[in-house]
Amino acid sequence: MKKLLILFITLSLTIACSKDDSNSSNNPTSSSGLSVKINGVLWEGSILGNMLDESSEQFVVNSLNQKSNEVFGFTMDYYDGPGAYPKAKDNLAFVSYARIDKNIFLNVSGTAFVVNVTNVETVAGVKKVHGNFSGTLKSVAGEVLQFTEGKF
């Protein structure tokens, strides 16, 4: 879990700080996209990584909005099939959103975030999760963001 957490943070910071001017479009309605309303404003991104590892009981989803260079993602433990996550015993569930102004929002004490896995597909031998999510994340400065109508 620690290795995945370090990998996700490194990936998030690398992408969030890059100056890529790619004109690729983000399409969250496709199977490779993610969409969510953040404080009522639609945010869309391309999924960079979506992997379910049943041997470690973990799943990871990472998404990038190329227009704003913002990154959103989550890692959950104790995967046991479709349903709501994190599980009660998962004390390392990790959800983060890195905003263009370099503020990072996390699922910290006093926030709640739920990821609902509705189905799993296998693409080229890799299992991927799909579903919806909602909740709140908080920055170190105390700013709280509400995430609603999330789909991946």
pLDDT at 40: 98
pLDDT at 30: 47
Q: What's the structural domain count of the chain?
A: 1
61's enclosing H/E stretch is strand 58-65
**13 in a domain, yes or no?**
yes
What digits encode the pLDDT tens for the residues 139-150? 999 999 999 999
Which one-letter DSSP state was computed for residue 108? -
**106 in a domain, yes or no?**
yes
Residues 151, 130: Cα–Cα separation, whole Å = 8
pLDDT at 9: 47
Q: What is the arithmetic mean of pLDDT over 19-32? A: 43
SS3 assignment for 17-38? HCCCCCCCCCCCCCCCEEEEEE
What digits encode the pLDDT tens for the residues 98-121? 999 999 999 987 789 999 999 999
| CB-count burial class (<10 Å; 0-12, 13-18, 19+) for 129 | buried
Q: What is the arithmetic mean of pLDDT over 57-84? A: 96
**56 in a domain, yes or no?**
yes
Task: List the Cα angle 144/148/149 in 5-degree steps.
Answer: 165
Q: Which of 115, 68, 70 is nearest to 90 (CA)?
A: 115
Residue 31 has pLDDT above 70, yes or no: no
Residue 73 has pLDDT above 80, yes or no: yes
Name the more confident of 55 and 19: 55
**27 in a domain, yes or no?**
no
**25 in a domain, yes or no?**
no
**71 in a domain, yes or no?**
yes
pLDDT at 2: 44
Q: Which of 57, 61, 56 is nearest to 46 (CA)?
A: 61
Give the contacts of 131 (CB within 8 A, at least 6 positions apart).
82, 115, 116, 117, 118, 119, 151, 152
User: Domain limits at 90?
Assistant: 2-20+33-151
**74 in a domain, yes or no?**
yes
What are 55's two structure tokens?
Answer: 């041997």
**54 in a domain, yes or no?**
yes
Residue 151 has pLDDT above 70, yes or no: yes
